[in-house]
Structure 1
Amino acid sequence: MTVFALDPLDLAALLCSRVCHDVISPVGAIINGLEVLDEEKDEEMRGYAMDLIKKSAEQASARLQFCRLAFGAAGSAGASIDTGDAEKVARGLFGGERTQLEWNVPHLLMPKNQVKLILNLCLIAAATVPRGGTIAVSLNGGSETARISVTAQGTNAKLAGHLPGLLKGTPEQPPSGPHDIQAYYAGLVATDAKMVLTVAAETDCVRIEAEPMQAIAKVL
């Protein structure tokens, strides 16, 4: 299959849509809460509005911090990222959700694209369990021999059939929305980190693994 390459401008536009998709809901809730404060005199309703504003602001902040690390530059070229920082933003993202995070990654400095890959795979895994479940993240080896595993477990866990192709950069059709671009971008990050992605699905379980290209080459 021919390897697909997305136009850089389309890639940038779709990634911006992906970030906006995550942030627009809590921001909209903040606006609604402010409108209630402006119009309501009832103290109970005003208290409800303040709670809504507070929770939505925290959610928007958590999502922005996550996106900054998962999609942003995260320092200069060749920079390393502490996996502890990745854990912090991941727990912030899932903190108010029905999905629980199990983080089995040791504290160490890793090349930024390996850390960004972990976070992007977390988002993809979370989308496979819309009713909630558990996301388990594990890492074996150091930065040169890292093997990453992200497993989603939950009722009817399922990865859309076209996403594995997007992860590998060989889709049957180009990414067309925020969820598609998530998988395509994760594939680009994996390639830049010299890692190969594989997907396995079982009943109520989806597992995405990444291992170094050199390890695959030795097996072959």
Structure 2
Amino acid sequence: MAVDTANLAALIGSRICHDLISPVGAINNGLELLAMSGAMAGPELELISDSVLNANARIRFFRIAFGAAGDQQMGRAEIVSVLDDISKAGRLKFQWDFTEGCNRSDVRMAFLAALCLESALPYGGMITMTCTDGKWSVSGEGRKINIDAPLWAYLDGSDTSANLTPAQVQFAMLPAAATQAERQLGFDHSDEKAAVWF
């Protein structure tokens, strides 16, 4: 059976994240052993440990955002754990305002939308993900929202001529995921807030 471009990209994302998570976890275990033995202590160990935790959080987040979605359910505790860990690691805070678990494809689209919003929040801020009656909204608030119009035009398909960099791939992946899930994407922004819904 042939694999379309979007699904191939998701399979590649899953493979890369799957192969990276084990060695990063092993590094973290090694650091814990060093700390317990007293062989190494101080700011150097703390810096390495923080970097490993950050890498682990990003890989877990990317595995959901860029990996193959499938139809399986994700529990709320797992989702919140990923978002809490990634919130500790950077200038953005993430909030999941949904009391239940949900379909992995919905979580994937919410995470891709969050990555789009991350590009609009150069000074950091808060990204909130909510779902009411099956309608998802992912909103970002912060100082000086920076919307790169050619990138955001990818979301509604009004203009797909901009050349994307690797850091901007979410703008192409989100519409593909929405089409696959038969969802209509929308977005809006003001000076201090931007939102994506599907």
TM-score range, shorter chain: 0.7 to 0.9
Deviations 1:139-180 (A, max 9, x none): 112xxxx11111111111122101222123443415431233
1:152 paired with 2:140, answer: yes
Equivalent position of 1:168 in the other structure: 156
Q: Distance in 2 between matches of 1:163 and 1:169?
A: 10
Rounded to whole Å, the distance in 1 between the matches of 2:90 and 2:52 is 15
Look up the match of 2:72.
Answer: 79
Deviation at 1:191, TM superposition (A): 1.1
Tell me which of 83, 88, 98 is aligned to 1:95: 88
Give 2:97's aligned residue: 104
Higher CA-based Rg: 1
Residue 38 of structure 1: aligned partner: none
Secondary structure at the counterpart of residue 116 of structure 1: helix
Counterpart in the other structure of 2:122: 130
Identity, % of aligned positions: 25
Over 4 Å off, 4+ runs: none
Q: Structure 1: any 5+ residue segments left out of the alignment?
A: 1-6, 35-42, 211-220
Summarize deviations over 1:17-63 as a string: whole Å, max 9, x none. Answer: xx89xx9xxx9xx9xxx9xxxxxxxx99x622111110000000111
How many Å separate the matches in 2 of 1:190 and 1:119? 12
Q: 1:62 corresponds to which letter in structure 2?
A: A
- Match of residue 48 from structure 2: 53
8 Å CA contact retained: 2:151, 2:162: no
Q: CA RMSD in A?
A: 3.0
Q: TM-score, normalised by structure 2?
A: 0.75
Q: Report whether the alignment pairs 1:198 with 2:198.
A: no
Q: How many residues align?
A: 174
Distance 1:173 1:103 in 2: 33
